[in-house]
Structure 1
Amino acid sequence: MTGTLRAPAAPMTPLRGLGVAAAFTLAAAAVALLSAVHLTQGTSAVGVTDLLRSVLGGDDPDALSVLVASRLPRLLGGVTVGAALGTAGTLLQSVARNPLASPDTLAVSQGAYLAVVAASASGVTLPALPSGGLSFLGGLAAAALVLAVSAGGRAGTTRLILAGSAATLALGSLATLLMILFEEQTTGLFSWGNGSLAQSDLVAVTQMGPVVLLALGAAMSLGPRLDILGLGDDTASVLGVNVRDLRLLATLLAVLLSAAAVTVAGPIGFVGLCAPVIVRLLGRSMPGLNRHRVMLPLSALAGVIIMLAADILLRAVLGGQAGVEVPPGVVTTVIGASVLMWLARRHRDAGPARQPPGVRAAHRSRTRFWVVLLACAALTAGAGLGGLLLGDTMVLGGDVANWLRGRTGTALTYVLDQRYPRVLAALLAGAALAVAGTTVQAVCRNPLAEPGVLGVTAGAGAGAIGLLTFVPLAGIGMLSLAAGAGAFIAFALVHLLAWKGGLSSDRLVLMGVGTQALFTAITVLIIVRSDPWNTAKALTWLSGSTYGRVPLQLLPVAVALLLFLPAAFLLRRDLDLLSLDEQTPRILGVPLEPVRLAALGGAVLLASTAVGAVGVVGFVGLVAPHAARALVGGVHARVLPVAALLGALLVTVADALGRTVIAPAQIPAGLVTALIGTPYFVWLLWRSRAA
């Protein structure tokens, strides 16, 4: 009865109208103000007074030319992209009923971007509309994959983010591979691939703008049904809503909007996440904003505000030339990553009894363990030998034997002297990443976590790239220190922000994904600011490569393995208990937080030294531990050595394939591991989706 008295409809009507009117008025005023400021920025000497005279009918052809050919297209591009992404993010969050759903977390933008890169690599130049259609198909395929393996996003926030991160990494790896192999055809796509508003004319905006407006209108027509869908599938069905068709239509509109944004400016990160979040927060204090017919256009305006503000901030801080060199998507990614971490901070874990599927593995016999261990050791040794034999110059086993005895000629000696550090780098880095992944999965109690997901490898990559850029003559020791510093900064940030009266496993993973995005944006900023047109070297490093390695570079990762492997073996029983649940280790007297900190610290050490040795290599820390548990059970005394061997095997095989398949050109090992690991990851998600 009390609830009935507190919710009378009539007295609230004027307040609702006032709240909505005030929100739209403020948003429109903010857009107008930002647009005016935006037009005054640029690389030319044309200022505010010149532009005003030109607009009012003055006879300054230079000012008019700058306004029409450069500044107005950039402004309209920002408006189009912001409106498209803000609307798309709202639709995806409503469909998935998940506040972290967006074109980025569902890999829609990355799928659309890959389609454009593939077209450019094949030498096909498409006008804006056909390019938008191609982007739509790529984004739709990516969204279908992520939503399928994450049960439509309703199976949990962490699962959705992990599925989207994996798909983004895989699609990004394919795009990077195409850019490395077809460098001439894809020149400039690295910067554009992080979101660039630089427009040479109004063609893309005039063709994609009507698409965005029509899609926004169609989305608003779905508003009442989306409001009902928010009450739950069963309730919506009872009230006459065809839930399946509504979800399909809303998803198609979101992908269409995302594809239009990618066509205009490339994949701009996190605008589709931030804009709906801002509107939903405003809805708590301004009644009436939570209805979709209000929320959708208001989210579009919020997206425009974020997009224009990011571009203004970029050029105000770094100068007008930064608008050409630095993609504003870097700024939006930094903002969006901060919002993602804020949302993760508010995220509630599923509770102490939570048990992710796949952590517990069936018991395996001791005999099976020894057979598997010996088989993995033999395969790893064979892969190491194969790595010495394969490449642009094929070598025979007898040549290797003669080289070991110092009896080969100059040519073969040179080849093998260059090749063996690469093989050792792959073996050591693979083992280090696998052990780090095993530890992270035990601490997080999530078989889908790995060092990359916690932002550690992105932090290490940012540290290493920063040193290579600003101190190009730095030695190997300095490189390892820079990578380690970046990794530990990222780890400290994740750990401190994830701590909230305890360390929630889900919150740790979500915070790690946000940190990963943050440090990736920093890395892109360093690259494009230092040398925006020579990105092949940076792409190769960020994709993980053993090229040009010398034995001294491998010393840090070898020392890290020698230090942490015995420590991990001593902690083996604690890791077994940590992987069960939150309460069991406490009951049995395990000092939970010190053990977690020690285990994660060791994982960070291993991951950072591996990045210093071979660059950023993904998925090894995911695939190797999971495969080891499937082979020998879940006891860490057995999982650790088998995972180390499997990780070494995976990276060594990937490196050998990358050096051989398209020789003399090379595919970075990290791209090969991503292409191998992604199908396995998707299979893991699909297998456990029912749970």
Structure 2
Amino acid sequence: MDLDYISPAEKKRKKINFIVVTIFILLTVFTFVISMNTGYIRLTPVEVFQTLFGNGTAKQELILFNIRLPRIIIGMLVGAALAVSGCILQGVTRNALADPGILGINAGAGLVVMLFVAYMPTQNFNMIMLLPVFSCLGAILTAAIIFVLSYKKETGFSPKKLLLTGIAIASGISAVTIILTLKLTPEQYQFVAVWMAGGIWGSSWKFVLALLPFLLILIPLAWRKSHALNILNLGDPLAIGLGATIKKDRFVLLAVAVLLAGSAVSVSGGIGFVGLIAPHLVRRLVGPKHQTLLPVTALVGAFLVLVADTIGRWIIQPSEIPAGIVVAVIGAPYFLYLLSRTKVSS
């Protein structure tokens, strides 16, 4: 038997995956270029390319390199992080509706971010580098509460209880956040309002440097555990039969998902539904194997947030709509559609 034999079905699947990845890369590059042109002060494509190669004016360089490019890159990093986080949560909990925003993880991280920004000097570089760390601590504490309350020793995670517990915790944290805003200055309140609407607020290279190390470590780690994620999807009894260390694998994967969501929230607002939409879309296109699903989900998540932020900056100029609201316009109906088609057990 030829061990290198590849079945026609596998060849077809690889071809489809290649086409899907190529299409989304091209769409992302196209949107990236459009996004560099989009804003209150418009730069034509020619001016953008001239500026990229050092032939632009001082004003054009300031707009492109100091304002738009860092914001675009942060949006893509946030989208990738939230999408992979949602993909992991759906796999580990076997809950098709799992998403860091819906489960309340984003809200917990956001509460800590709000307190950090309100009482710490965020213009200080060292403080900015610590911001994702504090955000992740908030995400970890919130996730721990949610998973403890929804876990049963006999049956594991209850999909219905996990979803309802997350929604309840998120509502409680949002109420606490609103109460705390009463003590904020007008400038701090404006920041919180933008954050809650899902605005990408950390739009400078300092925030890119603060977020990037988390993604460079966590996303490859998630991909390395993709085989374990495939096995966990089969259910605990079968996973144990296949020799998987389910408790260790589940803990590592949940930690990765929570840290990805927490770090993303530290530089963006409460952007929901990305972790819900991207994995479902990609799963339909490339199949359920996480070796392929995770990296393509990261690409699609980056594309979704990039599109949402670009539309938000373009549609009502000179004002702008936070990316989280644009995503919610798409995500909320899709969530209701999934909810109507998903059977969740108690």
Task: Name the TM-score, length of structure 1 as normaliser.
Answer: 0.46
- What is the CA–CA distance in structure 2 between the aligned matches of 1:516 and 1:584, rounded to whole Å? 33
Task: Tell which has more relative contact order, 1 or 2 (C-alpha 8 A, sep 6+).
Answer: 2
**Residue of structure 1 equivalent to 2:282:** 628
Q: What's the offset of the Cα at 1:515?
A: 2.1
- The unaligned stretches of length 5 or more in structure 1 are 1-361
After superposition, the Cα gap between the structure-2 partners of 1:548 and 1:610, relative to the gap in structure 1 and judged at 3 Å, is closer
- Kindly indicate whether residue 41 of structure 2 is the aligned counterpart of residue 393 of structure 1: yes
Question: Deviating runs (4+, > 6 A) in structure 1?
Answer: none
- What is the CA–CA distance in structure 1 between the aligned matches of 2:68 and 2:60, rounded to whole Å? 10
Equivalent positions of 1:456-467 (< 5 A) are: 456-467=105-116
Q: What's the offset of the Cα at 1:534?
A: 7.2
**Residue of structure 2 equivalent to 1:585:** 239
After superposition, the Cα gap between the structure-2 partners of 1:684 and 1:412, relative to the gap in structure 1 and judged at 3 Å, is same
Q: Out of 141, 154, 157, which is 1:504 matched to?
A: 157
Q: Aligned-residue CA RMSD in angstroms?
A: 2.3
Q: What's the offset of the Cα at 1:594?
A: 1.1
- What is the CA–CA distance in structure 1 between the aligned matches of 2:302 and 2:273, rounded to whole Å? 13
Contact 1:620–1:647 (Cα < 8 Å) also in 2: yes
- Kindly indicate whether residue 78 of structure 2 is the aligned counterpart of residue 429 of structure 1: yes
What are the Cα deviations for residues 550-582 of structure 1, in whole angstroms up to 9, with x where unaligned?
112122332122112222222112111222323
Q: What's the offset of the Cα at 1:664?
A: 0.7
- What is the CA–CA distance in structure 2 between the aligned matches of 1:533 and 1:379, rounded to whole Å? 37
- What is the CA–CA distance in structure 2 between the aligned matches of 1:387 and 1:591, rounded to whole Å? 45
- What is the CA–CA distance in structure 1 between the aligned matches of 2:134 and 2:202, rounded to whole Å? 19
Contact 2:102–2:272 (Cα < 8 Å) also in 1: no
- What is the CA–CA distance in structure 1 between the aligned matches of 2:172 and 2:341, rounded to whole Å? 31
Equivalent positions of 1:490-639 (< 5 A) are: 490-501=142-153, 503-506=156-159, 507-531=161-185, 535-547=189-201, 549-639=203-293
Contact 1:541–1:616 (Cα < 8 Å) also in 2: yes
Task: Name the TM-score, length of structure 2 as normaliser.
Answer: 0.89
How many aligned residue pairs are there? Answer: 330
- The unaligned stretches of length 5 or more in structure 2 are 1-8
- What is the CA–CA distance in structure 2 between the aligned matches of 1:480 and 1:598, rounded to whole Å? 19
- What is the CA–CA distance in structure 1 between the aligned matches of 2:209 and 2:263, rounded to whole Å? 9
Q: What's the offset of the Cα at 1:633?
A: 0.8
Moved more, 413-422 or 521-530: 521-530
What are the Cα deviations for residues 324-362 of structure 1, in whole angstroms up to 9, with x where unaligned?
xxxxxxxxxxxxxxxxxxxxxxxxxxxxxxxxxxxxxx9
Equivalent positions of 1:351-362 (< 5 A) are: none
The structure with the largest alpha-carbon Rg is: 1
- Kindly indicate whether residue 331 of structure 2 is the aligned counterpart of residue 677 of structure 1: yes
Q: Out of 450, 468, 475, which is 2:99 matched to?
A: 450
Equivalent positions of 1:195-594 (< 5 A) are: 365-417=13-65, 418-473=67-122, 475-501=127-153, 503-506=156-159, 507-531=161-185, 535-547=189-201, 549-594=203-248
Query: For residue 104 of structure 2, what is the amino acid of its counterpart?
Result: G
Query: For residue 322 of structure 2, what is the amino acid of its counterpart?
Result: P
What are the Cα deviations for residues 557-616 of structure 1, in whole angstroms up to 9, with x where unaligned?
321221122222221121112223232212111111111111110011111111112121
Equivalent positions of 1:61-140 (< 5 A) are: none
**Residue of structure 2 equivalent to 1:658:** 312
After superposition, the Cα gap between the structure-2 partners of 1:576 and 1:517, relative to the gap in structure 1 and judged at 3 Å, is same
- What is the CA–CA distance in structure 2 between the aligned matches of 1:555 and 1:505, rounded to whole Å? 38
Contact 2:97–2:163 (Cα < 8 Å) also in 1: no
After superposition, the Cα gap between the structure-2 partners of 1:466 and 1:447, relative to the gap in structure 1 and judged at 3 Å, is same
